Structure 1
Amino acid sequence: MSNKKRLFIILGVVILLAVIVAVNLERQSGSSVEVTVEKVKRGTIVQTVSGTGKVQPEMEVKISAFVAGVIKKIYVKEGERVRKGQLLAELDRERYVAGLDRAKSTLKSAQASLKKARADYKRMKQLFEQNLASAADLENAEANLMMAESQLEQAQASLREAQDSLDKTRLLSPIDGVVTRLNKEEGEIALGSQFQADVIMTVADLRRMEVRAQVDENDVVLVNVGNPAKIEVDALPDTVLEGRVTEIAHSAQTRGLGTAEEVTNFEVRVAVVTPHPKLRPGMSATVDIQTARHDSVLYVPIQCLTAREVSDSTLLALAKKERRKWRKGSKETVDQTVAEVTGETGAGASTRKAEGENNTVEVVFVVRDGVAKMVPVRTGISSDTDIELLSGVKEGDLVVSGPYKVLSKVLRDGMKVKIKKEKPKLGGSA
Structure 2
Amino acid sequence: MATETISPETTKESGAQTSPSSPRSSRKKNRRIILIASGIGLVLILLLIFFVAGRSKEAKPIVVTVEKAAIRTITQVVSATGKVYPETEVKLSPEVSGEIVELPVKEGDVVKRGQLLFKINPQLTRTQVDQAQAALSAAKAASLRAKAEELRTAEEFRRTEQLFKQKLVSETEYLAAKTSAEVAKANAEAAIYDVQRLESQLKQAREQLSRTVVTAPINGTITVLSAKVGERVVGSIQMAGTEILRVADLSTMEIRVDVNENDIVNVKIGDTARVSIDAYPNRKFTGVVREIANAAKTKGLGTQEEITNFEVKIRILDHNGLLRPGMSGNADIETFTAKDVLTVPIQSVTVRASESGMTAEELSRKREEQVRQTDGSAELINEKMRQQQEKADRAKLLRVVFVKRGDRVQMVPVETGIADNAYIEIRKGDIKVGDEVISGSYRAISRELKDSARVILEVPGAKK
Which TM-score applies when normalising by structure 2?
0.70
Q: 1:355 to 1:264 in 2, by over 3 A?
A: farther
Which residue of structure 2 lines up, in the alignment, with residue 58 of structure 1? 87
Letter in 1 for 2:140: Q
Q: Structure 1 regions of 5+ residues with no counterpart? A: 1-11, 314-351, 425-430
8 Å CA contact 2:233–2:241 kept in 1: the answer is no
> Quick one: distance in 2 between partners of 1:185 and 1:154?
38
What residue in structure 1 maps to residue 333 of structure 2? 289
Once the two structures are overlaid, the 10-residue window that deviates more, 413-422 or 41-50, is 413-422
1:109 aligns with 2:109: no
Q: CA offset at residue 82 of structure 1?
A: 0.6
For the residues of structure 2 that align with 1:248 and 1:185, how far apart are their CA atoms?
38
- The answer on 1:379 being equivalent to 2:416 is yes
Structure 2 CA distance, aligned partners of 1:403 and 1:238? 29
Counterpart in the other structure of 2:65:
36
Q: Output the CA distance in 2 between the equivalents of 1:410 and 1:233.
A: 39
The equivalent of 2:154 in structure 1 is 125
Mapped pair 1:308 → 2:352: yes
Is 1:226 equivalent to 2:304 in the alignment? no
For residues 279-428 of structure 1, the aligned pairs below 5 Å read 279-311=323-355, 356-368=393-405, 372-392=409-429, 393-408=431-446, 411-413=449-451, 418-420=456-458, 422=460
- The residue aligned with 1:251 is 296
1:232-287, CA deviations, whole angstroms, 9 ceiling, x for partnerless residues?
222223122122223333131414x5666555444332222212423111222222
Q: Taking structure 1 as reference, are residues 253 and 27 closer, same or farther at Cα in structure 2, changes over 3 Å only?
A: closer
8 A Cα contact 2:153 2:177, kept in partner: no
Cα distance in 2 between the residues matched to 1:171 and 1:279: 28
Separation of aligned partners in 1, 2:313 and 2:304:
28
Aligned to 1:153: 196
Q: Tell me, what secondary structure is at the counterpart of 2:244?
A: strand
- The answer as to 2:246 corresponding to 1:202 is yes
Question: For the residues of structure 2 that align with 1:52 and 1:176, how far apart are their CA atoms?
Answer: 29
**Equivalent pair of 2:116/2:214 in contact (CA under 8 Å):** yes
**Higher mean displacement: 377-386 or 109-118:** 109-118
Contact 2:65 2:458 in 1 (8 A): yes
The share of aligned pairs that are identical, in percent, is 38
Cα distance in 1, alignment partners of residues 154 and 147 from structure 2: 11
Larger radius of gyration: 2
Change (3 A) 1:63 1:23: same
- Cα deviation code 1:319-351 (max 9, x no counterpart): xxxxxxxxxxxxxxxxxxxxxxxxxxxxxxxxx
Match of 2:316 among 250, 265, 272: 272
Question: Does the CA-based 8 Å contact 2:100-2:229 persist in structure 1?
Answer: yes
Superposed CA offset, 1:349-396 (max 9, x none): xxx995842112222233345553433211011222221111222322
**Gap change, CA 1:63 and 1:307, over 3 Å in 2:** closer
SS at match of 1:187: coil
Question: Which residue number in structure 1 is paired with residue 165 of structure 2?
Answer: none
User: Gapped runs of 5+ residues in structure 2?
Assistant: 1-41, 162-173, 358-388
TM-superposed CA distance for 1:101, in Å, is 2.4
Question: Aligned partners of 2:115 and 2:62: how far apart in 1?
Answer: 77
Q: Which amino acid aligns with 2:108?
A: G
- Normalized against structure 1, the TM-score is what? 0.76
* More divergent stretch after superposition (116-125 vs 191-200): 116-125
Q: Deviations over 1:66-117 (max 9, x none)?
A: 1122211112122111111111122222332232222222222222222232
Contact 2:296 2:309 in 1 (8 A): no
For the aligned residues, what is the CA RMSD?
Answer: 3.4
Q: Following the alignment from structure 2 to structure 1, what is the Cα–Cα distance between the partners of residues 392 and 82? A: 31
Describe the shift of the 1:420–1:99 C-alpha distance in structure 2 as closer, same or farther (beyond 3 A).
closer
Alignment map for 1:43-192 (pairs within 5 Å): 43-130=72-159, 131=161, 134-192=177-235
Amino acid at match of 1:295: K
Post-superposition shift, 1:297?
1.5
Partner of 1:347: none
CA distance in 2, matches of 1:78, 1:408: 55
**Which deviates the most, 116-125 or 367-376?**
367-376
Q: Which amino acid aligns with 1:252?
A: K
Q: Deviations over 1:118-137 (max 9, x none)?
A: 23223322322332653321
The more displaced of 155-164 and 266-275 is 266-275
C-alpha distance in 1 between matches for 2:392 and 2:316? 37
Q: Is the 8 A contact 2:298 2:306 kept in 1?
A: no
1:412 positional shift: 4.6
Deviation at 1:205, TM superposition (A): 1.0
Q: Distance in 1 between matches of 2:297 and 2:206?
A: 45
How far off its partner does 1:22 sit?
A: 12
Q: Whole-Å Cα distance in 2 between the matches of residues 182 and 33 of structure 1? A: 64
Q: Encode CA deviations 1:273-309: one digit per residue, 9 max, x unaligned.
A: 2124231112222222223322221111122223333
Relative to structure 1, the CA distance from residue 95 to residue 416 in structure 2 (aligned partners, 3 Å threshold; closer, same or farther) is closer
Work out the CA distance in 2 between the residues paired with 1:95 and 1:306. 75
Q: Structure 1's 303 and 95: CA in aligned 2 closer, same or farther, altered over 3 A? A: closer
CA separation in 2, counterparts of 1:155 and 1:240?
62
Partners of 1:123 and 1:284 lie apart in 2 by 80
Letter in 2 for 1:254: K
Q: Structure 1 residues 355, 93: CA separation in 2 closer, same or farther (over 3 Å shift)?
A: farther
Query: What number of residue pairs does the alignment pair up?
Result: 373
The answer on whether the counterparts of 2:94 and 2:233 sit within 8 Å (CA) in structure 1 is: yes
| Contact 2:222 2:248 survives alignment (8 Å) | yes
Residue range with higher mean Cα deviation, 368-377 or 409-418 = 409-418
AA aligned to 1:121 is: E
Supply the distance in 1 between the matched residues of 2:446 and 2:85 (Cα, whole angstroms): 46
- Please tell me the residue identity of whatever aligns with 1:380: G
Query: Alpha-carbon deviation of 1:151?
Result: 0.2
Contact 2:250 2:321 in 1 (8 A): no
